[in-house]
């Protein structure tokens, strides 16, 4: 094959994502996308955001937001979509295998 040949660029249709939720609130965590157990593991927590103000730290695993059990990143995002700015929500999480609870204000 001749390496001087140019590749032709073909524009494709942009794919629509199925989760097109627009969030009114944020927890302020950077999720660990490699985490495979139930819940959402915080890989990092943003300074001054609701999670940090509530005492969550990197390594915490969020397992419930309000009445919503968190089993995966997808249902974590779905749960977030149900809250509004100013809502106060109980958050259950584990830290070092201990079950803890705090309140997050969005």
Q: For the domain 29-105, what is the CATH code? A: 2.30.42.10
pLDDT of residue 51: 97
pLDDT of residue 72: 94
Read off the pLDDT of residues 8-65 as tens digits, 9 standing for 90 and up.
766 666 554 444 456 789 999 999 999 999 999 999 999 999 999 999 999 999 999 9
For 91, residues 6+ apart whose C-beta sits below 8 A from its C-beta are 54, 56, 62, 64, 65, 101, 102, 103, 104
Is this structure's pTM higher than 0.75?
Answer: yes
Kindly tell me the burial class for residue 6, based on how many C-beta atoms sit within 10 Å of its own C-beta (0-12, 13-18, 19 or more).
Answer: exposed
**pLDDT above 70 for 85:** yes
pLDDT of residue 11: 65
**pLDDT above 60 for 1:** no
pLDDT of residue 82: 94
Report the alpha-carbon distance of residue 79 to residue 75 in Å, rounded: 6
**CA-based torsion, 97, 101, 105, 106: positive or negative:** positive
For 12, residues 6+ apart whose C-beta sits below 8 A from its C-beta are none
Between these two residues, 24 and 66, which has the higher pLDDT value? Answer: 66
Residue boundaries of the structural domains of the chain? 29-105
């Amino acid at each position: 094959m001749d390496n001087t040949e140019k590749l032709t660029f073909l524009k494709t249709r942009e794919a629509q994502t199925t989760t097109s939720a627009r969030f009114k609130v944020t927890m302020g965590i950077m999720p660990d996308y490699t985490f495979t157990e139930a819940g959402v593991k915080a890989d990092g927590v943003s300074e001054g955001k609701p999670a940090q103000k509530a005492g969550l730290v990197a390594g915490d695993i969020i397992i419930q937001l309000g009445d919503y059990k968190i089993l995966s990143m997808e249902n974590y995002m779905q749960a977030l979509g149900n809250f509004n700015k100013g809502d106060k929500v109980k958050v259950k999480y584990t830290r070092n295998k201990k079950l803890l609870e705090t309140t997050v204000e969005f």
